[in-house]
């Protein structure tokens, strides 16, 4: 290659370097969170589902909410103050016209890079964990399903995607006979926070689940008598990209994290309280939540003025090879 050709090549490379320095760089950000509880039952110590007649008094309340927001859309929101069956329709919003909807009560497995800006959520809460309550099915009990998913694509300069999906259930009761009660069911949980390689601006993606059951003594002044809050169901997974790709997954069951997250995993669980007194007033509270939060803030590139970029290019060109004069 002649010196003149070398000089042209150097100048072309210099322009490419300057343009690359000036252009923003984004990577896909995605987060997904889901928690499904099947066959949820409340039984006596011998394993027989408690019957409504086993209580001398009982009051039941349940509320739920599901909301989502995505920059550039109006978002969505659902809430209900009380009810045995609460089943919100699966919802999806997108600014790029390429939504990734959830099948109604299907709770699919989202993973890795997505190609659009969207938020999606679904919620179901059906059946009853106690016999002779509305919706009870023998050996099936109650079902709780919650999912939240969102994505910001590689073309989005800045924006945010948030979804929150919560349940607050409460039983106030008095047992006819003294004894412990057992909670049983099947948990499936999955969290993922994903950031593709090449994100040079401030961004984050996080996903979380929370689940807990408490029984509080309302009459004897003894406070909380029982608490169930599995570690795996109270998790937050997050990534803060800085030019590198991250894909953090948390999945498994009530017992442990097994193998790969590419396979849906679930496990049965059973846990029994201590002795609860007959004739005493108690409150059982179950709270469950899944949420995701994604945000990207576009930052000002230091070399932004055309004049400055031109000076930088000229300065680099001045370093180009020159032919030696004989």
Residues of the chain with pLDDT below 70 are: 1-24, 242-246, 250-267, 298-326
Whether 225 contacts 213, CB under 8 Å: no
Specify the pLDDT at position 227. 94
Specify the pLDDT at position 46. 79
Distances (CA, A) of 296 to 40, 247, 299: 39, 17, 9
Whether 195 contacts 203, CB under 8 Å: yes
Specify the pLDDT at position 174. 95
Specify the pLDDT at position 318. 52
Specify the pLDDT at position 267. 67
Of 130, 135, 111, the residue nearest 192 (C-alpha): 111
Specify the pLDDT at position 81. 82
SS3 of the chain:
CCHHHHHHHHHHHHHHHHHHHHCCCCCCEEEEEEEEEEEEEEEECCCCECEHHHEEEEEEEEEEEEEEEECCCCCEEEEECCCCCEEEEEEEEECCCCCCCCCCCCCCCCCCCCCCCEEEEEEEEEECCCECCCCCCCCCCEEEEEEEEEEECCCCCCEEEEEEEEEEEEEEEEECCCECEEEEEEEEEEEEEEECCCCCCEEEEEEEEEEEEEEEECCCCCEEEEEECCHHHCEEEEECCCCCCEEEEEEECCCCCCCCCCCCCEEEEEEECCCECCCCEEEEEEEEEEEEEEEEECCCCCCCCHHHHHHHHHHHHCCCCCCCCC
Specify the pLDDT at position 140. 82
Specify the pLDDT at position 263. 44
Specify the pLDDT at position 304. 44
Instruction: List, for residues 168-194, the tens digit of each pLDDT value.
Output: 999 999 999 999 999 988 888 888 888
């Amino acid at each position: 290659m002649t010196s003149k050709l070398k000089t042209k090549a150097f100048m072309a490379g210099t322009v490419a370097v300057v343009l690359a320095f000036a252009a923003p760089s984004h990577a896909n950000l995605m987060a997904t969170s889901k928690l499904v509880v099947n066959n949820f039952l409340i039984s006596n110590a011998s394993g027989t589902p408690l019957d409504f007649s086993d209580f001398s008094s009982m009051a039941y309340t349940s509320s739920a909410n599901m909301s989502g927001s995505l920059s550039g859309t109006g978002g969505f929101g659902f809430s209900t103050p009380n009810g045995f069956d609460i089943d919100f329709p699966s919802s999806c919003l997108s600014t790029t016209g390429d939504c990734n909807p959830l099948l109604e009560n299907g709770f699919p497995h989202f993973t890795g890079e997505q190609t659009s800006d969207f938020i999606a959520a679904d919620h179901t809460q059906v059946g009853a964990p106690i016999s002779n309550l509305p919706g009870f099915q023998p050996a099936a009990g109650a079902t709780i399903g919650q999912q939240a998913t969102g994505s910001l694509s590689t073309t989005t300069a800045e924006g945010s995607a948030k979804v929150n999906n919560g349940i607050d259930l409460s039983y106030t009761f008095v047992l006819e006979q003294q004894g412990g009660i057992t909670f049983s069911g099947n948990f499936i949980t999955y969290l993922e926070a994903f950031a593709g390689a090449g994100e040079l601006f401030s961004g984050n993606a996080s996903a979380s689940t929370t689940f807990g059951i408490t029984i509080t003594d309302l009459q004897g002044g003894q406070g909380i008598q029982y608490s169930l809050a599995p570690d795996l169901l109270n998790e937050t997974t997050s990534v803060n990209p800085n030019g590198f790709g991250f894909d953090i997954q948390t999945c498994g069951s009530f017992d442990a994290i097994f193998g790969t997250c590419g396979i849906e995993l679930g496990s049965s669980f059973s846990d029994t309280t201590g002795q609860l007194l007959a004739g005493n007033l108690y409150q059982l509270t179950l709270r469950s939540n899944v949420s995701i939060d994604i945000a990207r803030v576009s930052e000002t590139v230091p070399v932004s003025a055309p004049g400055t970029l031109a000076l930088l290019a000229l300065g680099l060109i001045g370093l180009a090879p020159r032919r030696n004069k004989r």
